[in-house]
Chain A
């Protein structure tokens, strides 16, 4: 098992929900996994929006982030489905198309970098927890079992497109359910559990009213399930659920990123979780 990763921060976690960053740093420390800062990394860049504008720019900037990790010789650990999707898909595309590697490297050469490919992997932190750390070790670190009924939200770019990700069943995934149950929570079933939060692909930015309708549909299904919290693994979904609820009457379902949930279960001080950044108060 790799016990050292290049920690890829992305945008939303460090800049809007820094408690997610802090919790991740602390949780992995307690699991004896070292996270090394990936100095100078930027936006992944966003898979649905920046890639929609210009694929060459998207791919080159992603390759720059990948090249920075290659230089450290470390696999990348992401805490966001968007970052995971972008960097994973970019690495895959480059692997399949050597001619694109050439094009990208022509540009990266101008900034003193080169992407080789095949040296490092792009990982999602939930997958690392599940596959590498393992449920048993996680259970051994729990000091405060969290006996909550929760609704997990997988988000889109975690397991999809499954053809290349091959992480979990795209229609009936189980990784997150197992991960929340490892700390004592009960993962409920709800209608359209696998559906999108509505924010992706530039929809939140361009047509927020429509993004919100999708979010409301999901929130309605979660509410009917009786879950007390939504557990996510993507700061953008997290932001969409958290900030949208103030504009939708009748909802106040707190959102907790898996890293924050683990922080709680592992007995971290509540102040480490940055819950004051949440619009919907998280009362534990």
Chain B
């Protein structure tokens, strides 16, 4: 994974709450077996609406999404993160993320930064006053800066460290392989086993 420190790009105001992962990427796009090429699927239903924010030329090349609370609820589909990433998004800011979405983002290098409802509104107001304006995400300082407005965002410390270092989770875990082996040796016999099939 690439290291992430700072990034600047066009800010996109998604003024909706409860943006579930079915909206981020409808199920029909989940049949693909690749991990890339999902840019066409992002917000696929909403993109048919000419009024949808990404259809506004000012935001078409957006890369930082500022959304209402409860972003990424519902299905665990990591495709939602892939679609955001493939479209070009590097960060999403919201006052509340669904847990699984937040976790998936961290694995793929997409920043899911939590900001207050008040700051969400301030950012929306600033963007709408100047559509197409750039925002700078600074993972070191945990700040988002748009013109003379700077807001703090929170992200869990471990995820931040991994993203700053560009570290792969599986590689980190395998450093503890001997502990896994020790644990396996202690597991009781009644625990479920799928093999061999008992019928």
Is A bound to B?
no
